[in-house]
Structure 1
């Protein structure tokens, strides 16, 4: 897990201090935007300590983070759609995302919007989701709706948990972030399947 090493933990604590800086929100916007198509560091690493440091701003930070992430995702989609072989593919491969690219291609072909939704809600690299969605020609409106729902769900849910339980929730999320978000995603998917079976058949 990314929080395992001591130097990462020290960096995490430093972010909590920087979260009170007057330009902290601008930094969050930048990280959220660029993480959606090129930046290698997950936005949650920046987002969580900022919410812990300023719990009264939890909902504002969630909105900023979600909106910037979706905007970056649109940019990533366009890169994939317009210049996949020239720009997007070499960029993702340089970040070590080659295997994830191949796996996500199969998911998009089979599940479409659901693949984008799951990719946007879990620790799966969102940059792979956005760029390959464009490269594979996934319907833009479908991509956009799935991105908005998944990114807003992720960041508002994390903000709500940290806002409610404070540093106890932060410690738990840091330790079990992947299990935490995959479990939540599983519940959402089960709910979606139940709804589709009983109400949309």
Structure 2
């Protein structure tokens, strides 16, 4: 089923309304859809590098709005909608333990999930479920998704096709390591 979703998503790249398709995929990826918007963004930017910033902006706005929808799922309908989504991702078992500590590290959780390959939808739903302050959630989502989408757009605009393999296979790891080191540095400064 995942392969069919991926193939369907890829078919949208050449559609005349590809920006609208990107907006829809970015929105629903932030709350329920398993395919990240990068699948559309990368070929769209490679086909039209002069539109890289517009493509990143559409993904950013749509993703943050979708994140707010995911937050609402967690806040208003966790048991009916949010929990089944997390169960389908194999994340439901850790929810009870995770939710007790989530808001202590909420900024970092949203930032990390917004930039790295970790499913952002898990964090959007958990943010609503645990009652993270909406302002913190939105500001961090804008920062995280902005970094992710504009970094991808900038790299593709500057380096084109040769950077594609790095983005698809290594960018998530590099940003994850960077965030771990950054967070670790803050902990060292705070406790030493």
What is the TM-score normalised by the length of structure 1? Answer: 0.80
Aligned partners of 2:181, 2:74: CA distance in 1, in Å?
A: 30
Kept in 1: contact 2:102–2:109 (CA 8 A): yes
Q: 2: distance between equivalents of 1:55 and 1:100?
A: 41
Q: 1:137-176 residue pairs with structure 2 within 5 A? A: 137-176=131-170
Contact 2:26-2:63 at 8 Å conserved across structures: yes
Structure 2 SS opposite 1:129: helix
Alpha carbons 1:108, 1:116 under 8 Å: kept: no
Gaps of 5+ in 1: none
Choose from 55, 63, 80 the match for 1:61.
55
1:80–1:133 Cα contact (<8 Å) kept: yes
Aligned pairs, number = 188
State how far apart, in whole Å, the 2-side matches of 1:107 and 1:52 are.
41
Match of 1:89 in 2: 83
Distance 1:40 1:80, change over 3 A: same
Distance in 2 of aligned mates of 1:99 and 1:54: 43
3-state SS in 1 of match to 2:42: helix
Aligned partners of 1:66 and 1:151 also within 8 Å: yes
The answer to whether 1:110 aligns with 2:104 is yes
